[in-house]
């Protein structure tokens, strides 16, 4: 467990890669971004969240949202 903690502490908080890789000045211009991909589960959750306001749902910020994949034609 200690080894896992040490490993996780060595990761970049933004990209989760080892800091010696992502923060190396020698590779500053060697990174290429990948095309954006959409998470359809998150899209569904965000669209649903828009229907909740403080006026209709006091403390709306405390609501937990999720999404599940619909099984099609089994």
Q: Tens of pLDDT along 12-53? A: 999 999 999 999 999 999 999 999 999 999 999 999 999 998
Rounded to 5 degrees, φ, ψ at 4 are -65, -40
pTM exceeds 0.95: no
pLDDT for 74 equals 64
Q: What is the mean pLDDT of residues 49-67?
A: 92
Give the pLDDT confidence score for residue 67 in this predicted structure. 97
Q: Which candidate, 72, 52, 74, 55, places its Cα nearest to that of 64?
A: 52
Diameter of the chain measured on Cα atoms: 53
User: What is residue 61's predicted lDDT score, i.e. its pLDDT?
Assistant: 87
């Amino acid at each position: 467990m200690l080894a896992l903690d040490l490993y996780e502490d060595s990761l970049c908080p933004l990209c989760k890669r080892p800091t010696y890789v992502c923060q190396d000045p020698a590779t500053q211009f060697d990174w290429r971004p990948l095309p954006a991909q959409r998470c359809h589960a998150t899209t569904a959750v965000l669209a649903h969240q828009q229907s909740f306001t403080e006026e209709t749902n006091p403390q709306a910020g405390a609501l937990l949202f999720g999404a599940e994949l619909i099984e099609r034609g089994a």
